């Protein structure tokens, strides 16, 4: 079994450094270009199932991929980004202005990584049982993908994932093996050195 993770394309809030979390932000023009580029790349490969977060930026990315893969998009709320509570919509500077430099230690209703990992683990178990031996493509979000990969790959640190980056893991008998992490060579910026 192979699972590919695609981070959604760029949004204006990505560009501005605003925390998005569960906010429904659409792709900007650059994000649409990125989504078409990753779709073209993925269309040269065989994927059996396409599942997306239900948040708009991921759905838009998945719909563009779907057109070239000719696979319907299934939506799953468990693929949503981490909820950032009161931080959603703010930049780093706005957080400092509002709550001070120690804002990270405050209870601002941010979803814990443990809670996010519970829904991730539940989803991954379900995929293994339901789609054993198939190639599954998941369109999701940066924090969700990074935390999921770190957990499945035995604690391997995952650097910040680029918009429309692809990460691919393969199910072995008793573990997952990373085949490609954070690759966005389809954007043509020289990043193919890393994938």
8 annotated to a ligand binding site: yes
> Torsion angle, CA of 153/159/76/17, rounded to 10 degrees?
160
Q: Is 13 annotated as a binding residue?
A: yes
The Cα 55–Cα 176 span in angstroms is 27
Q: For residue 6, which of 60, 87, 70 has the smallest C-alpha distance?
A: 60
DSSP-based three-state secondary structure for 137: strand
Q: Is 8 a catalytic residue?
A: yes
Q: Is 23 annotated as a binding residue?
A: no
Is 7 annotated as ligand-binding? yes
Catalytic entry in 8, 36, 141, 186: 8
| 3-class DSSP assignment, residue 160 | coil
Active-site choice (36, 60, 81, 88)? 81
Q: Tell whether 10 is in a known binding site.
A: yes
The DSSP string of 37-106 is HHHHHHTTS--SEEEE-SSHHHHHHHHHHHHHHT-PEEE-GGGPPPP-GGGTT--HHHHHHHH-TTGGGS
Q: Is 57 annotated as a binding residue?
A: yes
Give me the phi and psi of 95, to 5 degrees please.
-65, -45
- Cα gap 18→16, rounded to integer Å: 6
Binding residues for substrate: 7-14, 57
Catalytic machinery residues:
8, 81
Binding residues: 7-14, 57
């Amino acid at each position: 079994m192979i699972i590919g993770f695609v981070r959604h394309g760029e949004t204006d809030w990505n560009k501005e450094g605003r925390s998005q979390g569960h906010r429904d932000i659409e792709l900007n023009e650059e994000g649409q270009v990125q989504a078409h580029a990753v779709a073209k790349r993925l269309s040269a490969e065989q994927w059996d199932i396409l599942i997306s977060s239900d948040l708009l930026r991921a759905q838009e990315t998945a719909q563009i991929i779907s057109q070239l893969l000719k696979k319907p998009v299934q939506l799953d709320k468990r693929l949503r980004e981490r909820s950032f509570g009161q931080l959603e919509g703010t930049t780093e500077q706005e957080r400092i202005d509002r709550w001070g430099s120690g804002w990270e230690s405050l209870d601002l209703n941010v979803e814990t990584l443990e809670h996010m990992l519970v829904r991730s683990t539940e989803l991954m178990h379900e995929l293994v049982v339901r789609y054993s031996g198939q190639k599954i493509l998941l369109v999701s979000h940066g924090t969700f993908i990074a935390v999921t990969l770190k957990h499945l790959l035995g604690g391997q640190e995952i650097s910040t994932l680029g918009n429309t980056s692809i990460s691919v893991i393969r199910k072995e008998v008793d573990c997952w093996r990373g085949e490609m992490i954070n690759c966005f060579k389809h954007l043509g910026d020289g990043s193919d050195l890393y994938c």
